[in-house]
Copies of this chain bind each other. A is one copy, B any other.
C-alpha cells in the first residue's frame, strides 16, 4: 500500500502541533490508518525554532507545497482569508486533497471551495475548524447520519467561555479579558472572540453540516459578551440559569435560525456546566435525541488531533485509490436545501429582561400589561426592593418563548413608559427541552 504524503503550510501553533503529533505518533497512526503518512514538505514564512525538520524539505513559499507533485494532501494552517483561499483553490486545481483548520475561510468561501473540489473529485476537510479537537463534524456528518437534525447549540469559543466563567465570581468583563490576554487565551485584538465572529464562523459550518443548507455566514446574527455584567450573571443564577455565549442553529419550516449571543440556560443542564476554555456542542436529532460532544476547542495538539483525523480519512481514500468520500457538508450537492437564514426578528426565544422601574405598587402590573399586549407572558419575576436607588428598583423577569419581533415592540413600549428609566436589558434564554 502506497505511502501518503502530506504537505504542511504554516508552522505556527497548529502547524507545529500537527508536525509534532504526526512525528511522535507516526507508527501508532500508521497502524490505525493502514498506510504510512509522511510529511513530504513544509512551508511557512519563518522556521519554527521548536520544530526539528530533519531532512524534510522546507521553504518559505507555501505554493511550493501545492506545486510539489509528490504531495497528496495539502494541510492549510496559515489562517486568514485571501492567501489561504488562493492556496486551497490552487491545491484543488492541482488535484490535491486539502485539510484545513481555517473556519473563517470555510465559513466565508466554503461554497465556492466545495464546488471546485467536487468538480475535481478531491476532498476538503475541516474538522479542526470547529471546536478544535472535538470530533463534532464527524459526529454530525457520519455518526448522526440517520437523523433529521432539528437544532444544535454550542459553546464554541473558549476565550468567551473562560471570560464568562470567571465573571461568575463577580469580576467585570474588562478585568477578566485582560487576564485572558495575559494567559494567552485571548488575542491582542480580541474582537473575533468576544464579539462572537469566530463563534459565528463555526456555527455557520455546524448548521450547514447538520441541516444540509449552503454556508451563509454573512446572514448570521452575532452579538458579543462585552455588555454582559456580573450583575446579570448573578441574577440569572438566582433564577436558576447560567449565562453562556452560545451559537444556536435551528431548522424551521421556512428557514434556519443562525445566531450567536449570550444566552441563559438552566443551570442543571450539562452544557451549563462546561466551564473555562472548554467547548461543547449539543445536537438534537429526531432519532437519537440529544447528544453532546465536549473537549478542548483550541490549543496546538488538541487542534492537531482533529487535523490528523482528517488527514487519516483522506489517506484511506488515497491509499485505496478509491473515489469514496463523505460529502463536504454532510449532504451530496444535489441533496442540499436552499433554506435561507431567517432575520433575527423572526427567531423564537425566551428572554431575561431587566428594567429600572418606579418603586410603586402598580408598576409590575403596568409592565406585565405592556408585555401581555404583545402576547408575552412572564414566567418568573424578581423585584429588588433592597436596591432602591433614586426612587427606582431593578425588576428582573424571565418570559416565555415569543418571536423576537414582538419582544422588540414590547421593549420599545416599555422604554416609553414614564415609570421606567434607561434602556431595558435583554438577554435571550433557552431551555433546550
Interface positions of A (Cβ within 8 A of B): 17, 21-22, 25, 28-34, 127, 133-135, 138-139, 141-148, 212, 268, 270, 273-274, 285-296, 299, 301-302, 304-309, 312-313, 316-317, 320, 322-324, 326-327, 330-332, 334-335
Contact = CB atoms under 8 A, between A and B. Distances in A.
Q: Which 8 A-B pairs have the closest CB atoms?
A: A135-B143, A31-B335, A291-B295, A146-B308, A133-B288, A322-B322, A288-B305, A287-B301
Contacts of A22: 146
Contact of A309 (B145, B268, B324, B334): B145
Contacts of A305: 144, 146-147, 285, 287-288
Given A135-B144, A287-B301, 5 more contacts: A25-B287, A31-B334, A32-B330, A133-B289, A146-B305
A161 B335 CA distance: 40
A138 B142 contact: yes
B289 A302 contact: yes
Contact of A324 (B289, B296, B324): B324
A133 B144 CA distance: 8
Contact of A288 (B141, B142, B302): B302
Given A32-B335, A324-B316, A290 B295 contact: yes
B291 A292 contact: no
Contacts of A270: 270, 273-274, 294
B25 A146 contact: yes
A289 B299 CA distance: 10
A145 B317 contact: no
Given A135-B139, A143-B138, A270-B273, A327 B32 contact: yes
Of the candidates A25, A143, A302, the one having the most CB atoms from chain B within 10 angstroms of its own CB is A143
A287 B311 CA distance: 15
A294 B295 contact: no
A33 to B, nearest CB: 7
B274 A145 contact: no
Contacts of A34: 327, 332
A208 to B, nearest CB: 13
A147 B295 contact: no
22 contacts: A22-B146, A28-B148, A28-B212, A29-B145, A32-B145, A135-B138, A138-B142, A139-B143, A142-B309, A142-B312, A145-B308, A145-B309, A268-B273, A270-B270, A273-B273, A285-B305, A286-B301, A287-B302, A288-B295, A290-B296, A292-B295, A293-B294
Contacts of A21: 146, 287
B289 A292 contact: no
A334 B1 CA distance: 14
Nearest to A137: B143
B32 A331 contact: yes
A316 to B, nearest CB: 6
Interface centre among A33, A147, A332 (most CB of B within 10 A): A147
A317 B326 CA distance: 11
Contact of A146 (B143, B144, B148, B312): B312
Contacts of A312: 142, 145-146
Contact of A320 (B313, B324, B331): B324
